Amino acid sequence: MKFEDLKLVQKWREYAGPKDERLEAESAKIYKIGFVLLSFGMLMIFFYQFIARQVAWVHSDASEMPHGFATPFEAAMYLWLVLVMLICAGLQTRKGYVDTNRFGQTEHLPVG
């Protein structure tokens, strides 16, 4: 069964109405940039973390620094994630792609 054949998907498309192809194309470009940035940054952080742990294992550094909620690598990943989200939001705002709050003003969502 295809995704488009599901009754829930058909009902949603009836409710949501036609897509604006210009907005779909612009948002696809922005999300592509965000995905490339996020993937490349996370890959670099994972690679660096792997190398750093290997060096620490080779040198048997027993004086492990206490850390708070996350290791420095996890903190770097969280920071990178927030930075990429801000870049995507900035690009969307610059292109004029903003939420019209269409569903926030409805009386009820179709559940039947």
- Torsion from C-alpha of 82, 85, 87, 90, nearest 10 degrees: -120
Alpha-carbon Rg for the chain, nearest whole angstrom, is 22
Contact by Cβ (8 Å): 90, 96 = no
- The SS3 of residue 109 is coil
- pLDDT above 70: residue 73: yes
Residues 6+ apart with CB under 8 A from 85: 34
pLDDT, one tens digit per residue, over 17-50 is 777 788 788 888 888 888 888 888 888 888 888 7
pLDDT score, position 109:
60
Residue 42 CB neighbour total at 10 angstroms: 15
Q: Which whole number is the average pLDDT over 55-73? A: 63
Helix-then-strand count for the chain, H and E: 3, 0
Q: Is the pTM of this model over 0.75?
A: no
